[in-house]
Structure 1
C-alpha cells in the first residue's frame, strides 16, 4: 500500500530532516507536485514553518507562484503542496526585464534570509516564476546581498545602487550634510538608535507581550494559528526569536493561538477510507469505527458521532458507524429429543439448519434415538447454524443366572485401564452370600480418552462401590461382586448413568 501524508500519495521521497519531509506526491485530484510536510512538535519546527509560509505569502503578492499551490496550517497538518511547473530555467538571466523580476523576488525574500541559491526560478510565458524554495535555508543579510547582488542592483528600489557620476555641486552638498550632522551631534539617540534584545514571549498572552516590548519601538504584527490542545490567545511563536538584537522600527511577528471551531462534515454514504480522509482534510482525527447490520452495502458509513454539522473544535476525534451488510436470517431450533437421527436430520433441514457433530452414548433407548441436543430446543439461531446431537448407541449388559456361580477366569483387557482393576471377592462366600459375575462392553469414545467406570451395589449389606476405576473405551469390563440377598446394580460412565439391573436371590 503506497505511503500517504494527509490527503497526498507519496510517489518518491526526496528528503527527510528532523521535522521536514520533502517528497514527490500526487493530490487527490491526481495533480503531481512537491510536498513539504512539517512535523511541528517544537518551537524550532514551528518557527521554520511560519517563516516558510510568510515567504510564500510574500511571493504570492508578486504573482510569481504557480497556480494550485496549497498551504495548510491545521493541527497536525502543517504542509505546503507545490505543483510542478515545467518551463526553462530563468538563469542565466537574459535581458533587463528578467533581471528586474529576479531582483524583485530576491528583494522580497531578503528580510526572511532566503538567497538566490535557495530558489528554482523558471521563465514562463508571463515572466519569472518560482518553481521551488528550500524551506530550511537561511542566510544573514550580507550573504544574501553577496549571493544576489547583481540582480539586486538591477532593481530600481534595491539597496545596492550603481555609483553615479560626481556632479559639480556634490562637494557643497556634502558640506551641508556634514554641518547638519554637527549641529545634531547632541541628539545621538536619533542618529544612533539604541538596540534592544527581544525577550521570550512564547507562552504569554498578548497583553503581557505588548507590555514587555512597549518601549522598544517595534512594529508588532499578530498572525493566527489553530492549536486546539493549547489555550486560546496564547502566543505560540515569535519572529525574531528570543535573544535577537533589534532596533526600533523592526517588525515583531507573534503567532497567536485561535483554535478554529469548525463543524463535522457530512460523511453518511461514503466508504470508510474516503470518510477518514475527509475528516483529516477538515482538521479532525478519525476515531474508532464500529459496525452494525444494515441494508446499506458493507463498509459504507451510516453515521458519525458527533453527527454531521455539529460544532466541534478542530483536532478532536470523530467516531464512525459503518455497515456490516444485511443481517443474517433467523430460525427457531425445534426440540429433537426422543426422535430418531433421520427424523432429527429432516427437521433440521426444514428449519434451514445443518447437522453438526453426532455423539454416541450407550443408553437403554433404541439405537439412534436423540438423547440431547446443543443448543436446546426453542433457541433462535442464524440460518445455517450447526446443531450437535447426542444419540443412543449399543449397550450390552450380561446378567448372571440365578444361583451361586464361581468367578470367571481373569482375561486380559484390550488396553490396560488407567486405574486399579475391579475387586475380586474371596472364593468362599459367607452363608447367604453369592458371587455375581460382571461383564459389560464399554462404548467407544471419539476422543480416545479413558472412561471413568463406577459400579454401585445395594443389597442387604448396604450400599457400596466395589468398582471405581478407569478403562479404555471399546474394552470390556469384567469381574465379580459378592452380594447378599436381592442386589441392585448401577453402572456410571464419566459420572452419567449408563445401565442398571437387579439380581434376585435364589
Structure 2
C-alpha cells in the first residue's frame, strides 16, 4: 500500500528517492543561471563594441597660424580634446598655434587629445612663482621658461638654507624682452664670523670636510676644468681664502673633472652651423637636435647651446641656429676623425689645407696600395682647456692590416697642434689618440 501524499514522503517511481530529485533540480537551476550570465556578457560586449564603432573618425585640420582660442574651438567642435604648451617662435604672432601633435591631416578617433604648441611671444612673459623653491629648482624653472635670472642675493633669515624667500618682479607680473629676475635665497641665521681656510690643491672631499669643520654651513662645487692626472682637485674658491665671512655665507669650490670621462661643451655661439658641428665632434660629442630660426633682427649662426659647461663623452648637444635652412650641411661626420676641418664648397671662410698634407676628408692612394690620410689635432678645438695652458704629450696609435703601431709620439707645448699625414693599410683601420698616456679618442677613417 502506497503512503499518503500528506505524510511528507515523496511519491515517485519505484527506485528514485527524494535526494536524487533535489540534486537534479539544483543542477538544472545552476545551468540556467550560467546560461543567462553568459548571455548578459555577450550583450554587454556587443553594446560596448557598438559604442566604440559608432565613434566617428576625424581628419585633423591644420590650425597652425590660427589664434589659440579659434583653434581650440574648432577642434572641440570636432569632438576632440585639446592640450596646450608654450613655445617661443619669433616668426609667429603671440597667442597663435605654431605646432600640433598629431600633425594636421592625421585621421584619429573622436575624443582623442590633440596637443598644441602656442607661441608665448617674446614681447612679454609671465613671471612664475619661485618663492618657496630650492635655489637650484628655481633657476631650472626660470631656464625652462627662457627667463633670465640677473641676480641671486643671499640673505640672513630663519628659513631653511638654500630656499628662495623673495623674488623681483613678483609672480604673475609680465617681463618685457631682455628683462630678468632677481631672487633672494636664505642663508640661514648668521652666527660669529669665521676666516676661510685655503683649500686650493685639496681634493673635493678634503676641502668640504675642512670648511665644514671651520663652521661653513653650505659648500657648493662647480666643475670648471679638466685634469688627466689630478681629477676632483680644487683649483679655486669663492670667496677667496682669508676672507672673513658669516657661517651662513655659501662657499663655492671650483674643481677639475677627470679628463677621460667628461669634456667641455665648446663655445660655438655666433659660429656657422658647419663650424659648430666640427667643434662639437672634435670635443667627442654628438650633434643633437638643431632648431632653425630665421630672425633678421638677430645675428646669423648659433644662438643657443645646450648643455653648457661640461658633459659626458658622447652626449648630444642641441643647437638653435639663426639662418636659412639651406645653410645646413651634412650632419653625419662619423667617418671623419675628431679635429678635422670640412671645407664647405663656396665658403671662403673655411680654413685652407696645409701644403703637402691631403685636404681634410680626402685620401691619397700610394703606389704600394696603401693610403695616405691627413691627421690634424688642434688643442683649441677638443674641449680640454688645460691643453692650451700646459705642455702635453700626444700619441697616435694605428691598428690596420700591418698590425698595431705607434705612428706619432710627441711632446708638445701648450696650445701647440699637429698637422701631418698618416699611412694606413687595409679597409678598416682604427686610429686612437692618447694624451699624457690616457686614452682620448678613436675613429675609423
TM-score, L = length of structure 1: 0.20
- The answer to which structure, 1 or 2, has the higher relative contact order (CA under 8 A, 6+ apart) is 2
TM-score, L = length of structure 2: 0.22
Q: Which structure has the larger Rg over C-alpha atoms?
A: 1
